[in-house]
Structure 1
Amino acid sequence: MVRKITDGLFSSIYFWVSVFILLCFFMAAWYVNNSVKKEAAVRADVMTTNVALGSIQIIVDMLDDYDKNLSLIKVLLEDNDEKDALQKIIEKIRALDPSISDITLEPLSKGQKYSSGVWREIYDKDNQLFFKFSLAVNQNERLCLLVNLLDFHKRVSESPIPSSAYITIINKGIYLYHPNEKKIGSAIRTQDMEYEKHLLSNPKDTIINTKSDYLDLPVYSYYKLHSSDNEQWLFTAHLPDLSISESIQKTANDFLVVSLLAIFSFLMVFGLGIYRWRKEAVRRRQIEQENMNLLLKSEQHKQTMISTELERLKSGLNPHFLFNSLGSLRVLISKDAEVAKYFAITLSNLYRYMLKQENQNIVTLVEELEFTENYINLQKIRFANKIVTEITLSEEILAYRILPISLQLLVENCIKHTKISDSEPLYIRIYAEGEFIVVANNYNPREQDDDYSGKGIDNLIKRYSILTKTKCTFKIQDGYYFAKIPLLS
C-alpha cells in the first residue's frame, strides 16, 4: 500500500513540478543571499568612504581657512604697507577665530625659500605644540600664523559637525588632533606607526578593520594622506563597525520566511500610520489656526493699547501749550493791540497745526521745525530782543522724523524756566548730534513755581518710550542746559 502511494507520488507530474519550483526557489534564495552579501560589503565600503571623506574634508577645510586668512592678509599688505593697518587686520581675524594664537611678520631665514603656497609645520613653543602656517610676502619676510593644537581641538569640538565618525591627525608618530585632548601631542600606537610608514611610501586611501582604543569597539578606520607644500599629514576617520554585512546576510536568510508576514504587517502599520498622521495633521492644523487667531487678537489688542496710550499722552500737550500761549497773549494785549492781533492770528495758525497732527504719531522734522520757528517768533514779540536763537540743521537731518510738538515743547521749557532780561538774554541753540536733536540754552533758572508739574516733559519721555528704545536725555553742563530727543527713521 505504501509502495503504491510512493510510486504514485513519484510518477505524478505535479510532484516533479513542485520539486522543480522548490529547487528554483532555493536557487533563487542562494543567489539573492550571495548577491546581498556582496552588495552589503560594497555598500559598507561606500558608506564608510563617503562618511570618512566628508568628516575629513570638514577638518581639512578648517585648516584651509588659516591658509585663506594668510592669503587675505598678504593681499591687504600689498595694498597697504603700514604696520598699524596690518595690526588692525590681524585683530579682526583673531576676533573672528579665537583659535588663532598669534599672527606675526617674521624675516625669512638665510637660504630659506618658500613657494607661493602656504608652508605648514608643527612648532614647539614653551612646551606647547602649534600649527604654524607661513606664507612668503616678499623676498625677505613671511607671514606666520600660530594655532595652538588644544585651541584647534576646542574649535572642532564646538563646531556643529554632523558626522558619525571621529577624526585623528597624525604626523611623524604623534597625534596633532584627537577627540581626546589628552592624547594631542602624544605618541600614536605601534600599529598606526606601521600604517603611517606604509601610506607614506604608498599614498593610497585605505580602509582597515581594527579596534579603537578610544571607543573600545571594532571600527572601520579610513586612512587618507593629505599633502601640503612641505608636509604630509595622515588623516584617519574611525567609524563604528556595526556588522552591516552580517546583519544584511541574516536578513536575506530570513527573508523567505518572513517576507509575506512583513509585507502584511508593513501594510497594516503603514495604513494605520497614514490614518493617525492625517488625524494628527488635522488636529495640529486646528491648533495652529487657534494659536494664530490668539496671536492676531493679542497683536490687535497690543496695537490698540499703544494707540490709546499715545493718544492719552498727546492729549496732555494741547492744553499745556494753549495755557502758556494765552498767558503770553494776555500780556501783549495790554502793551500793543496790533502786535497782540498778529500774535492771536499766528497763534490760531499754530493751533491749527496742532489739530492737524492730532491723529499722527510722528511728523517730519522740517514740519516740526517750521512750527517751532513760528512759536519762537511769537515769543520774540513778547520778549523783544531778549531771546537769541541759532538753528543749524542740514537738509539730510530735516528728512528724519520726530514726535509732533516735541521740539516746540523743549523751546517752551527754555523760555518758561529761564530768567530773561536785557542784561541776561536767553540764548537758544538747536542742532543735530548723531541721531539726536539737541536744544541747548544758557542755564539761568527761575525760581520754580508752585504749580510746576513737569507734565510736558514726562509725556514726551513716555511717548518716545513707546516708539523707540533710545531714551531722551536732559543735563546741565558748563553753564548750559541740554535737552536731547531721538530722531526717528
Structure 2
Amino acid sequence: MPDNNVTQQKLFNRYYRLFIIPMIFLLYLVLSYLVNPYSKYWSLLFTRPWEELLTEWAVMMLICGVITEFSLISARWMDKRIPWEKWPLKRFIAQLFCQIVSVFILLRILTFVLTMIFGPPPDVSNNGPEKLDEWQFVFVCVMLSILISAVQTGNYLLQRWKTSMMEAAELKLNAAELKQIAMQAELQSLKLQLDPHFMFNNFSTLSALIEEDKNMALSFLENLSRVYRYMIINLHNDLITLREELKFIQAYAFLIKIRNGENVDIQTDIPEAFQSRGIPPITLQLLIENAIKHNVASTAQPLHIRIYINEAGTLTVSNNIQLIPTNMPSTKLGLQNIRNRYRLLSDQSTTIKEENGLFMVTLPLLDF
C-alpha cells in the first residue's frame, strides 16, 4: 500500500509541474488584472516590443516555477514533521507563515539575480503608482504560492483519504473472514455436541435388543447406521432442506418406536411448499430427543410429538407436558445448541414457550 502511494505521488508531481506552471502564470495575469485593472502595465501591454514582452513573461514563468517547486518542497517537509492528521491548526498556521515568508525571500533572491543579469531596475522609491505595482506583484505571488500549496495539500489529503478507505475496507474484509472462520468453528463445535447424547441413548437400546431379539437388533442397527451416516454427511453443512431433515426423522422415528413402542407418537404435517426451505441439520432430532428425555412416555401417558407449520409460516415442534419427576437440573444443552446455531446462521431467533399444557419450539425456516 505505501509503495503504491509513493508511485501515485511521484506521478502527480510530474504532471503537476507540467501543467501547473503555465496555469500559475495565466492565473498570475488574471489575479494581477483583478487586483488593479487600471495599472499602467495593462495600457502599455500591447504597445511594447514583443522581445521585451517575451523576456518579461519568461522571467515570470521562472518565478512561477520557483514558487511551485518551493511550495512542493516545503509541503512535503511539513508532511513529515507537522502532519495534518495530528496538528491541523498548527500545520495551517505554519504553512501559511512559511508561504508568505518564503515568497518574500525568493523574490529578494530573484531580484538580486535578475539585477546581476539585466542590470538594476529603475528607481521607483518616489513613484507612487510604480511602488503600488511592485507591492501588488508581491501580493499576487503570495496568493499564488498559497494556492499551489493548497492544491498540493488537497491532493495529499485525498490520497490519505483513499488509503484510509482502502485500509478500512481491507480490515473490514479481514474481520468478516475471521468472523466467518469463527462461526464455522463454533458451528462444528456445536454439531459435535450432538453425538454423545445421541449415541448413548441408542446404544443402550441396541444392547438390550441383542439379548431379546437378534433380528430386531440387526434392523435397529441398520437404521441406526443410516441415521448416523446422515449425521456424518451433514456435519459440514450449516443448512439442509426441510425435506431432507424430514426423511431423516422418518428413519429416526423407527429407532424411537423400537425404544418406546406406542408410548411415543410422532406426527408430521408439513406442506410440500415449505419443504424446500432451510433448517440447521439434526435440529428436529434434538427436539424429539429433548421431549423424550424430560417427559413421561408410557401406555397410560403417551407422549405426543407434533411437527407442523403454524399460521405464521414457521416450523413448530410441540409435545404435551408430562415432566419426569427428578431432582436433576436440566442442562438444556439441546435447546441451547439450536439457539446458538440460529444465532450464527441468521438474524432470526427461535421461540420457546409453554401454552395450554404444550411445550412448543418455533423455528424460522431459512433461505439458502
Q: TM-score scaled by structure 2?
A: 0.58
Q: Equivalents in 1 of 2:253, 2:290: separation in Å?
A: 12
Cα shift readout 1:155-179 (whole Å, capped 9, x = no counterpart): xxxxxxxxxxxxxxxxxxxxxxxxx
The residue aligned with 2:278 is: 401
Q: 2:183 aligns with which of 293, 297, 306?
A: 306
The residue aligned with 1:383 is: 260
1:331–1:483 CA distance, 2 compared to 1 (3 A): farther
The residue aligned with 2:165 is: 288
Q: 2:351 aligns with which of 460, 466, 473?
A: 473
- Tell me how far 1:488 sits from its aligned partner: 1.4
- For residue 446 of structure 1, give the secondary structure of its aligned residue in structure 2: coil
- Tell me how far 1:404 sits from its aligned partner: 1.0
Contact kept, 8 Å, 1:332 with 1:382, in 2: the verdict is no
Cα shift readout 1:250-288 (whole Å, capped 9, x = no counterpart): xxxxxx999866754553333222222222233333333
The residue aligned with 1:422 is: 299
Q: Equivalents in 2 of 1:474, 1:287: separation in Å?
A: 46
Q: Equivalents in 2 of 1:257, 1:271: separation in Å?
A: 21
The within-5 A match list for 1:144-155 is none
Cα shift readout 1:31-74 (whole Å, capped 9, x = no counterpart): xxxxxxxxxxxxxxxxxxxxxxxxxxxxxxxxxxxxxxxxxxxx
The residue aligned with 1:487 is: 365
Q: Equivalents in 2 of 1:305, 1:260: separation in Å?
A: 67
The residue aligned with 2:214 is: 337
Which residue type is aligned with residue 334 of structure 2?
A: G
Higher relative CO (Cα under 8 Å, sequence separation at least 6) belongs to: 2
Aligned length: 242
- Percent identical: 31
1:432 aligns with 2:309: yes
Which residue type is aligned with residue 225 of structure 2?
A: S
Q: Equivalents in 2 of 1:474, 1:332: separation in Å?
A: 35
Q: CA RMSD in A?
A: 3.0
Cα shift readout 1:428-460 (whole Å, capped 9, x = no counterpart): 211012242111122222223748532222222
- Tell me how far 1:424 sits from its aligned partner: 2.4
Q: Equivalents in 2 of 1:262, 1:371: separation in Å?
A: 87
- For residue 236 of structure 2, give the secondary structure of its aligned residue in structure 1: coil
1:395–1:261 CA distance, 2 compared to 1 (3 A): farther
1:464–1:475 CA distance, 2 compared to 1 (3 A): same
- Tell me how far 1:403 sits from its aligned partner: 1.1
Q: Which structure's residues are more often helix, by fraction?
A: 2
Q: Equivalents in 2 of 1:449, 1:345: separation in Å?
A: 36
Structure 2 segments unaligned to the other structure (5+ residues)? 1-38, 45-132
The residue aligned with 1:445 is: 323
The residue aligned with 1:318 is: 195
- Tell me how far 1:476 sits from its aligned partner: 2.4
Q: Equivalents in 1 of 2:188, 2:181: separation in Å?
A: 11
Q: Equivalents in 2 of 1:276, 1:475: separation in Å?
A: 63
Cα shift readout 1:232-257 (whole Å, capped 9, x = no counterpart): xxxxxxxxxxxxxxxxxxxxxxxx99
Q: 2:288 aligns with which of 411, 419, 442?
A: 411
Q: Equivalents in 1 of 2:182, 2:313: separation in Å?
A: 28
1:411–1:449 CA distance, 2 compared to 1 (3 A): farther
1:269 aligns with 2:156: no
Q: Equivalents in 1 of 2:277, 2:258: separation in Å?
A: 30
Q: Equivalents in 1 of 2:149, 2:288: separation in Å?
A: 75
Q: Equivalents in 2 of 1:260, 1:395: separation in Å?
A: 86
Q: Equivalents in 2 of 1:298, 1:323: separation in Å?
A: 39
The residue aligned with 1:464 is: 342
Which residue type is aligned with residue 336 of structure 1?
A: D
- Tell me how far 1:383 sits from its aligned partner: 2.5
1:334–1:444 CA distance, 2 compared to 1 (3 A): farther
